[in-house]
Structure 1
Amino acid sequence: MTTDAELRGALLLELGRLRRAVPELTGCLVASTDGLLIVDEAETVVAEGIAALAAACLGVSQRIADSAGQDDFQEVLISSMGGHVAMYMAGHGAVLVLLAAADANVGRLHHEARRSISVVSHVVATAALTFAQAIPEPARW
């Protein structure tokens, strides 16, 4: 059985790879779609707040996409004078959030993030399976 520390370690390794591939990243994190922080590499922000807001933003974005007749929502990019916030669905249970400087190459950011999504979604799915296996069967009367 995979431990929680091993799963978090795998996510941190991927976030580290991502930060090396995109040096303009100022932070990155993985959150649940419920807005709970799973793991982060973001020193300058309150990661728990970003996690909650990212989940809310993706939920609204999913509803907009559905209302517009678009299926399979994937990502949101927010650009401001200070930089970029990119949020990506990573499977059904997680969100990958990247914070980048204003001069970041957004194409490179998307390319590397899309590579990371498969790793993050696999790790989160493994964690969910591990958790499900640890829950005892309900008593049958």
Structure 2
Amino acid sequence: MAVEVEVANELLRLRARMPQLTGALAAGADGLVLAQDMPDVQPEGLAALTAAALGVGRRMVDLAARGDFRELLVRGADGYLATYAAGPTAVLTLLADDRVDVGRLHLEGRRCGARIAELVAARSADERPLGTGSGRFPPPQVRGPIKGTLPVRIPPQSRRRP
């Protein structure tokens, strides 16, 4: 099963456990949507803003020497927006109405973020790039530098044997 489907199922289970949630979004740290369940919000725009907030949050905790970024909570007049780190490459954003139990929101958001981090990490382990022991192709050899030239990549089939 694709990781996006598994993440979407995790978001649906979270929304079933917490009826006060009005939306859930999992995105990469680059701002691309992994999965979403947000009927009233444009997910691509929120994913991009979440990535920006994640960057600012990481810089803030780094500058203040508070360790790794964990979460960010924003309260508006009509409810909450909570963002949770989901490993080093993903983020979970939840929208909740103003009647939500914030403690439970944090508990469920942290658990779901940890589960998404596991799913994304499992996918990353399965999708190694070429030349890293995947067994498909050896890494390309680079010759050079020769004065005044750039290094040249030699395809595996044209290499000469010594």
Equivalent-residue separation in structure 2 for 1:139 and 1:58 (angstroms): 36
Alignment partner of 1:68 is 2:83: no
Counterpart in 2 of 1:82?
78
Contact (CA 8 Å) 2:50, 2:83: kept in 1 or not?
yes
Alignment partner of 1:139 is 2:140: yes
Deviations 1:26-60 (A, max 9, x none): 11010001111111011110101100101110110
Contact (CA 8 Å) 2:5, 2:35: kept in 1 or not?
no
Q: TM-score, normalized by length of structure 2?
A: 0.79
For residue 32 of structure 2, the aligned residue among 33, 36, 44 is 36
Larger relative contact order (C-alpha < 8 A, sep ≥ 6)? Answer: 1
Written as runs of structure 1 = structure 2, the 5 A alignment for 1:1-141 is: 6-132=2-128, 135-137=129-131, 138-140=139-141, 141=154
Read off the aligned partner of 1:131 and give its amino acid letter: E
Q: TM-score, normalized by length of structure 1?
A: 0.90
Following superposition, which runs of at least 4 residues in structure 1 exceed 2 angstroms of deviation?
135-141
Equivalent-residue separation in structure 2 for 1:29 and 1:130 (angstroms): 23
Equivalent-residue separation in structure 2 for 1:113 and 1:136 (angstroms): 35
Read off the aligned partner of 2:42 and give its amino acid letter: V
Equivalent-residue separation in structure 2 for 1:131 and 1:51 (angstroms): 23
Segments of 5+ residues of structure 2 without an aligned counterpart are: 132-138, 142-153, 155-162
Percentage identity across aligned positions?
40
Read off the aligned partner of 1:139 and give its amino acid letter: P
SS of residue in 1 equivalent to 2:127: helix
Contact (CA 8 Å) 2:24, 2:93: kept in 1 or not?
yes
Read off the aligned partner of 1:36 and give its amino acid letter: L
Q: 1:121 Cα shift?
A: 0.2
Segments of 5+ residues of structure 1 without an aligned counterpart are: none
Equivalent-residue separation in structure 2 for 1:121 and 1:129 (angstroms): 12
Note the aligned Cα RMSD (angstroms).
1.2
Instruction: Name which one, 1 or 2, has greater alpha-carbon Rg.
Output: 2
Higher helix share: 1
